[in-house]
Amino acid sequence: MGYHKPVLLHESIDGLYIKPEGSYVDLTFGGGGHSREVLKKLGKNGRLVAFDQDQDTFANIPDDKRLIFVKANFRYLKHYLRYHAIDKVDGILADLGISSHQIDQPERGFSFKTDAELDMRMDMRSERTASRLLNESSGEELVRIFKSYGELPNAVALSAAIVHAREVAAIETTEDLEKVLKRFIPRQQPSKFLARVYQALRIEVNREIEALGEMLLQTAGCMSSGGRLAVITYHSLEDRIVKNYMRSGNLEGKIEKDFYGNIQSPWRLVNRSVITPSEEEITGNNRARSAKLRIAELIGS
């Protein structure tokens, strides 16, 4: 398998409604699949700014003078556009979550399928690993993480088991963690349970929900009127925030109306119903099965 097979590629690129001489942002460069498709549609004066914090992605950067690559988290969107003297862009794309490459590199610790250090950092320059989180967080913090980001009903019991186990020996590898969780792993769909545990840890290690919220709130101010925002999510936590923001202009989804009862939001939904992968795409790329694409157009700053 390649670095990462882009999900909903044509649907997301078509949704951006790319102008050949426009300026665009790919907030999650990864293997560069979406970025290359944008570049194909840009003319010689078009521009693409691509963000990624994972140093493994740097080898995928194409040699193209129209591309500006930013080695940073997308939460710094506005800062880096200003740094590169870009006032407004015509479209922003984000393909959230974890890449196939990250999952398939055992040493990164993102997968429970092989024994490895519990790392889970998307930015290897960060000092905060999953192992440190498990061994240093309070029991209350662990409960919050598993409840909020894993939506695990037995978060209290899981956290208590981790706190008890680390008093005997540090939890440093995927195997260490699985031993602690062994009595909680259900016989039916054990992978689904472990996936939720790992999702919760990964989100907290990388502060993904916090970064997503910060990024979304910057998008309207960075975009020209009529510009489009396209976001692909992979779990309900992300999707709920994106849905709220596109419908209301705020992360809570609080609807405000004018005197005439019209919803006051800077965005117009382009796709009223969420876009999901076709059966054909899922057959060719099983990791696309939970993807959801939402697209909105800026109607006013």
209-230 residue pLDDT tens = 999 999 999 999 999 999 999 9
Confidence check: pLDDT of 79 > 50: yes
* Sign of the torsion angle spanned by Cα atoms 129, 130, 135, 138: positive
Same fold, 9-100+209-298 and 106-207: no
Q: Mean pLDDT, to the nearest integer, of 68-89?
A: 97
Please tell me which residue, 253 or 109, carries the higher pLDDT value.
253
Q: How many CA atoms lie within 13 A of 262 on its CB side?
A: 8
CA angle 167, 171, 176 (to 5 degrees): 120
Indicate the CATH number of 106-207 among 1.10.150.170, 3.40.50.720, 1.10.1740.10, 1.10.10.10. 1.10.150.170
Task: Pick the closest to residue 97 from 193, 198, 219 (CA basis).
Answer: 198
State the burial class of residue 168 (Cβ atoms within 10 Å of its Cβ: 0-12, 13-18, 19+).
Answer: exposed
Q: What does pLDDT average to over the chain?
A: 92
Q: What is the dihedral of CA 67, 297, 11, 59, to 10 degrees?
A: 20
State the burial class of residue 271 (Cβ atoms within 10 Å of its Cβ: 0-12, 13-18, 19+).
Answer: middle
Task: Pick the closest to residue 267 from 286, 246, 285, 253 (CA basis).
Answer: 246
pLDDT of residue 300: 62
pLDDT of residue 26: 98
Q: What is the pLDDT of residues 112-143, one digit of tens each?
A: 888 899 999 988 889 999 999 999 999 999 99
Task: Pick the closest to residue 196 from 211, 206, 218, 181 (CA basis).
Answer: 181
Distance of CA 191 to the CA centre of its chain: 21
Confidence check: pLDDT of 264 > 90: no
* Sign of the torsion angle spanned by Cα atoms 116, 203, 285, 9: negative
Percent of the chain with pLDDT strictly greater than 90: 79
pLDDT of residue 281: 93
Q: How confident is the model at residue 57 (pLDDT cuts 50, 70, 90)?
A: confident
Give SS3 for 12: helix
Give the whole-angstrom CA distance, residue 125 versus residue 293. Answer: 30
pTM, to two decimals? 0.92
- Partners of 21 in the β-ladder: none
Confidence check: pLDDT of 1 > 70: no
Per the structure block, which two tokens stand in for 47? 């521009």
Q: Mean pLDDT, to the nearest integer, of 266-289?
A: 92
Per the structure block, which two tokens stand in for 169? 């020996």
Q: What is the pLDDT of residues 104-114, one digit of tens each?
A: 676 777 788 88
Biggest distance spanned by C-alpha atoms of the chain: 64
Residues 6+ apart with CB under 8 A from 35: 26, 29, 48, 50, 62, 67
Give the whole-angstrom CA distance, residue 261 versus residue 192. Answer: 43
Tokens 């309070």 — which residue?
A: 138
CATH hierarchy code of domain 9-100+209-298 = 3.40.50.150
Q: What is the pLDDT of residues 141-190, one digit of tens each?
A: 999 999 999 999 999 999 999 999 999 999 999 999 999 999 999 999 99
Domain spans in the chain, listed from the N-terminal domain onward? 9-100+209-298, 106-207
Do 297 and 268 touch, CB atoms closer than 8 A? yes
